[in-house]
């Protein structure tokens, strides 16, 4: 029975994916994922034999070294193999590929008879929507799944190990990524944004136009200290205007 190492998502993405599984089931196309007891995931590696205890110990340490990260699923696709897979394709960011490569440095020490499709250089990161489909079912499944809003952005936050049998799957280990300080600014560009659109930005390009259309006045520090709020400034200026108008009438 094969062992599968998997990445898991935030709850909202899981719910979204389970909705797709339910739609495929309701359409009479496939119940392969919910029936098998699967959790929405990206498989990192699959093997037939594994030194469980030693691998689990290293996997726990590996998970503790990782921080949750964002990932995007921009498309629905199929594999041109006989297994009949329809899946969400994940954006193969450098962060995801580096994680996969680092994982396999550990996995290869304890795994035997690995599935070639999941090894470094062969891997296509994806989240399965259905498998075991005929050609006709694949067409129908794609049409159903095309109704989903894409791209979908998720947070990857856990890694686990499953054992798969003909009757379903069983979770053997589950490890969360290290927690991060949410008060820190995350200045990484999310994968759904096109970095090339930002390359021609000019600092202060519209500053003059903006200033011309506003009535913002910068107060000197000593004045600002005396008038700590917008209301205080306005009241003081109104009083000054009354004094000036009164002086004109003398």
Predicted confidence (pLDDT) per residue in 153-194, tens digit: 999 999 999 999 887 889 999 999 987 554 444 556 666 566
**Do 27 and 99 belong together in one domain?**
yes
Measure CA 77 to chain center. 19
Q: How far is CA 231 from CA 200, 228, 234, 242, in A?
A: 40, 9, 5, 17
Lowest mean pLDDT among 8-22, 24-38, 125-139, 220-234: 220-234
Residues 221 and 150 in one domain: no
**Maximum CA pair distance of the chain?**
101
| Judgement on whether residues 50 and 163 belong to the same structural domain of the protein | yes
212 lies in the same domain as 119: no
Mean pLDDT of the chain: 86
Q: Is residue 64 included in any domain, yes or no?
A: yes
| pTM for the model | 0.70
Nearest in space to 45 (alpha carbons), one of 159, 172, 209, 192: 159
User: How confident is the model at residue 211, as a pLDDT?
Assistant: 59
Q: Is 150 in the same domain as 220? A: no
Domain holding 19, by residue range, is 3-180
Q: Are residues 234 and 154 in the same domain?
A: no
Of 49-63, 104-118, 164-178, 210-224, the one with minimum mean pLDDT is: 210-224
Same domain, 60 and 105: yes
**In a shared domain, residues 76 and 115:** yes
Same domain, 217 and 102: no
The verdict on residue 194 lying in a domain is no
Whether residues 236 and 142 fall in one domain: no
Q: Are 136 and 33 in the same domain?
A: yes
């Amino acid at each position: 029975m094969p062992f599968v190492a998997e990445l898991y998502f935030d709850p909202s993405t899981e719910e979204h994916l389970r909705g797709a599984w339910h739609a495929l089931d309701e359409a009479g196309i496939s119940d392969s994922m919910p029936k098998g007891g699967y959790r929405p995931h990206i498989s990192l590696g699959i093997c037939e034999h594994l030194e469980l205890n030693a691998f689990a110990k290293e996997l726990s340490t590996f998970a503790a070294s990782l921080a949750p990260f964002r990932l995007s699923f921009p498309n629905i696709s199929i594999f041109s193999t006989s297994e009949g897979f329809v899946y969400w394709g994940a954006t193969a960011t450098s962060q995801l590929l580096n994680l996969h490569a680092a994982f396999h440095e550990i996995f290869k020490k304890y795994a035997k008879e690995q599935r070639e499709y999941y090894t470094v250089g062969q891997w296509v990161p994806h989240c399965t929507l259905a498998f075991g489909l005929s050609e006709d079912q694949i067409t129908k499944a794609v049409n159903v799944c095309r109704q989903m809003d894409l791209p979908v952005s998720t947070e990857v936050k856990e890694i686990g190990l499953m054992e798969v049998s003909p009757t379903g799957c069983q979770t053997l280990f589950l490890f969360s990524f290290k927690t991060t300080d949410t008060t820190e600014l995350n200045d990484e560009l999310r994968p759904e944004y096109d970095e090339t659109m930002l390359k021609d930005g000019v600092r202060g390009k519209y500053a003059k136009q903006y200033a011309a259309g506003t009535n913002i006045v910068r107060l000197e520090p000593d004045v600002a200290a005396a008038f700590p709020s917008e209301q205080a400034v306005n009241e003081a200026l109104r009083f000054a205007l009354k004094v000036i108008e009164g002086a004109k009438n003398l």
